[in-house]
Copies of this chain bind each other. A is one copy, B any other.
Amino acid sequence: MEYLEQSFSVKFDYKVFFTTSLFKPDNFTLANFILSVPAKIRRKILFVVDEGVAIAHPDLKASIKEYFKVYQEIQLVEDILIIPGGEAAKNNPELFEKLIAAVDTYGIDRHSYIAAIGGGAVLDLVGYAAAVSHRGVKHIRIPTTVLSQNDSGVGVKNGINFKGKKNFTGTFSPPAAVFNDAEFLLSLTDRDYYAGISEAVKVALIKDEAFFEWLEAHASSLAERNSKQMNVLIKRCAALHLAHISSADPFEMGSSRPLDFGHWAAHKIEQLSHFSILHGEAVAMGIALDSTYSYLIGLITEEKLQRILNVLQVFFELTHPLIQIQDLNAPVLKGLAEFQEHLGGELTITLLSDIGKGQEVHQIDSDLLIAASNYVMEFTRQPQSLSL
């Protein structure tokens, strides 16, 4: 058999910056980053802003324009695009096409930047459009929610939905840089603010017992929106997320995806709720279900399970008619097959073998899922534990 063999490695690196007031003219963080990359022509940057962020920060457009008046070496595209945010943005292929057309209209090339300011959905959509334009325009992420600052925004994935199926099309494309500005969190509703905490609980549960204990200890002050503690949470969660990506299989060529603990059910109930349940809320419910399943098959003790459910309950409803599994026809169960199909290969579900330790299994017993769902429902009917 005659053949030629090709083999090469591609190196990717990027920084995740933590700052406040990113567009204050004396904040050098963003301008320094862009100017630090050698370029022989003037660098161009196009901003795309989440509509919700633009409404909550009516001065944002003007601030961006003022900022780049100070840093004239960078060519700001005069039009700042505003696009609808939230999961609905990922269901609308016209928004994707609008972004591709903007790359053409504004002459954005492979050494220009497209910067997205917004929640995870806008970052996913803009990141995907940037990744495929000219086979990859540099993409800067400026996440504005807890969830995107500690999780999706610092990772390497992007994508949009197809016929309601989450992230059906997308790529693995590391950003050029990420800028986490703590100020954006101040304008979030409590619901959006809390929603981001479930990914921190998740990554603590599968990777970092000490972080889980920290979350237990600081749950009340996080619930009161203590900024200092929230910054600690975001930085630690982002660091765990980055470490996971670089240590394992960044572009997920295998079938394992431990960071998706709790996500098979979460993805499905988001879709079943027509995205009225937020991703973070769905993940909290998914964690509750799969932690309980881990207890029922003997992987963790009931005491540890209840610690988990108690922390989650500070921020979230842990059950919902869409995740209640009364029999084998419960629609959420379809999420298992869809999860397997998206990753391909064998079914691989992460459970817990301890607090701070994920464990993969390749089979899930639906009858035990019914029992787990009933346990969570029963638990949430009790008066909340006073241990926190």
Contact = CB atoms under 8 A, between A and B. Distances in A.
Interface of A: 1-19, 28-29, 32, 39-41, 100, 103-104, 107, 109-112, 128, 131-137, 154, 157, 159, 162-163, 165, 167-172, 174, 235, 238-239, 242, 245-246, 250-252, 255, 340-346
Nearest to A5: B15
A1 B17 contact: yes
Contacts of A41: 345-346
A39 B343 CA distance: 13
9 contacts: A2-B19, A5-B13, A6-B14, A7-B13, A8-B11, A41-B346, A104-B162, A104-B168, A134-B342
B169 A133 contact: yes
A307 B5 CA distance: 33
A183 to B, nearest CB: 15
B6 A100 contact: no
B131 A171 contact: yes
A246 B7 contact: yes
Contacts of A168: 100, 103-104, 133-134
Given A40-B346, A134-B168, 15 more contacts: A2-B17, A3-B17, A4-B15, A4-B18, A4-B242, A5-B14, A6-B174, A7-B246, A40-B345, A107-B341, A109-B342, A110-B252, A110-B343, A110-B345, A131-B171
7 closest Cβ pairs, A-B complex = A109-B344, A111-B344, A110-B344, A8-B246, A7-B13, A111-B345, A2-B18
Contacts of A9: 9-12
A12 B159 CA distance: 22
Give the interface centre of A28, A163, A168, A238 by most chain B CB atoms within 10 Å.
A168
Contacts of A12: 6-10
Nearest to A7: B13
Contact of A246 (B6, B163, B250): B6
A103 B39 CA distance: 40
A11 B3 contact: no
A110 B338 CA distance: 12
A141 to B, nearest CB: 12
Contacts of A1: 17, 19, 28-29, 32
Contacts of A131: 171
A250 B109 contact: no
Give the interface centre of A11, A17, A135, A255 by most chain B CB atoms within 10 Å.
A135
